């Protein structure tokens, strides 16, 4: 039977005292814990993180919010404009399919792209004295080409900002994130603590800038591609209208030649 050793009580008390002192050194005091909790933001909602973020990060977030607002504004305005102009172009194109002459269509209102093309051809005919010579069709074709290009530029006005936002917004958000995380690490060095509860709010505010950058960039890219397809369809309608105007000029030239032949007889 082995003997049992017992630690004297007078030796246990110093050991317990050392352990208690070590725990007191490791654990923060009540005042320090209260101060750490007081410095933490109470509201971690998106608005709360924006309000507690650094001024540079706030400027980045505000700029990205304005870019997102501009994206949806351009989408609404260009969608309404494209639908209106496309409907007008289709109606005017249908009038070119009828048995008519350029002189009869010269009173067409120039409120849409096709009307502009008809007015351009009628203007050239008027300047030529309604004399359909051999070079008349080439002059009309040159005028129609320039008018079609001008109408295409007009309908595409404002879409360039979408391409800019889609390309730049993610990098602007990334800049805000880098700046916010840098400030979070500076706060770690100043507080002499690696407690995640202290640095997590700053990191969350920084990551919010990246999220806003994606919120601004993704819809801008999608809307830009959608508008590009709609503008391409409108340009195709203008191309069809230019071809119909040239056909109309060719028919008028044929009618003029037949009338002159009958008059000569």
Q: How confident is the model at residue 28 (pLDDT cuts 50, 70, 90)?
A: very low
Q: What is the mean pLDDT of residues 239-252?
A: 82
214: its two tokens: 């994606």
Residues with Cβ within 8 Å of residue 98, at least 6 apart in sequence: none
d(CA 227, CA 204): 35
CA-based Rg of the chain, rounded to a whole angstrom? Answer: 38
Contact present, 75 and 227 (Cβ < 8 Å) = yes
Q: Where do we find the tokens 């096709």?
A: 114
Reference 155, options 90, 84, 243, 241; nearest CA is 84
Q: How confident is the model at residue 225 (pLDDT cuts 50, 70, 90)?
A: very high
Q: What is the pLDDT of residue 199?
A: 67
Look up the pTM and report it: 0.71
Mean pLDDT (the chain) is: 75
Reference 209, options 151, 169, 249, 255; nearest CA is 169
Q: How confident is the model at residue 227 (pLDDT cuts 50, 70, 90)?
A: very high
Q: How confident is the model at residue 184 (pLDDT cuts 50, 70, 90)?
A: confident
Q: How confident is the model at residue 81 (pLDDT cuts 50, 70, 90)?
A: very high
Q: Angle 192-182-32 (CA atoms, 0-180°, nearest 5)?
A: 25
Q: What is the pLDDT of residue 53?
A: 67
Q: What is the mean pLDDT of residues 186-190?
A: 73
pLDDT at 174 over 60: yes
Q: What is the pLDDT of residues 87-138, one digit of tens each?
A: 888 888 887 777 677 767 766 666 778 888 888 888 877 777 777 777 788 8
Contact present, 134 and 165 (Cβ < 8 Å) = no
Q: What is the mean pLDDT of residues 50-59?
A: 76
pLDDT at 258 over 60: no
Residues with Cβ within 8 Å of residue 43, at least 6 apart in sequence: 49, 51, 52
162 vs 61, higher pLDDT: 162
DSSP assignments along 215-248, one per residue: HHHHHHHHHHHHHHHHHHHHHHHHHHHHHHHHHH
pLDDT > 90: percent of the chain = 22
């Amino acid at each position: 039977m082995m003997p049992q050793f017992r630690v004297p009580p007078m030796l246990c008390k110093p050991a317990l005292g050392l352990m208690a002192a070590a725990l007191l050194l490791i654990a923060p005091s009540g005042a320090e814990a209260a101060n750490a909790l007081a410095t933490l933001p109470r509201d971690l909602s998106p608005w709360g993180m924006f309000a507690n973020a650094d001024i540079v990060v706030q400027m980045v977030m505000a700029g990205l919010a304005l870019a997102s607002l501009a994206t949806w504004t351009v989408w609404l305005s260009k969608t309404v404009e494209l639908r209106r102009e496309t409907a007008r172009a289709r109606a005017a194109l249908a009038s070119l399919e009828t048995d008519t002459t350029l002189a009869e269509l010269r009173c067409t209102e120039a409120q849409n792209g096709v009307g502009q093309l008809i007015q351009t051809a009628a203007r050239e005919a008027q300047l030529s004295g309604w004399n359909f010579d051999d070079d008349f069709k080439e002059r009309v074709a040159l005028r129609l080409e320039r008018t079609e290009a001008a109408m295409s530029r007009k309908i595409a006005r404002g879409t360039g900002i979408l391409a800019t936002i889609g390309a730049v917004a993610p990098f602007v958000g990334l800049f805000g994130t880098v700046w916010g995380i840098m400030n979070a690490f500076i706060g770690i060095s100043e507080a002499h603590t690696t407690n995640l509860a202290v640095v997590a709010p700053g990191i969350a505010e920084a990551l919010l800038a990246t999220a806003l950058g994606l919120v601004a960039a993704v819809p801008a890219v999608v809307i830009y591609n959608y508008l590009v397809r709609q503008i391409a369809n409108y340009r195709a309608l203008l191309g069809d209208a230019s071809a119909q105007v040239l056909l109309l000029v060719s028919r008028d030239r044929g009618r003029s030649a037949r009338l002159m032949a009958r008059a000569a007889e």
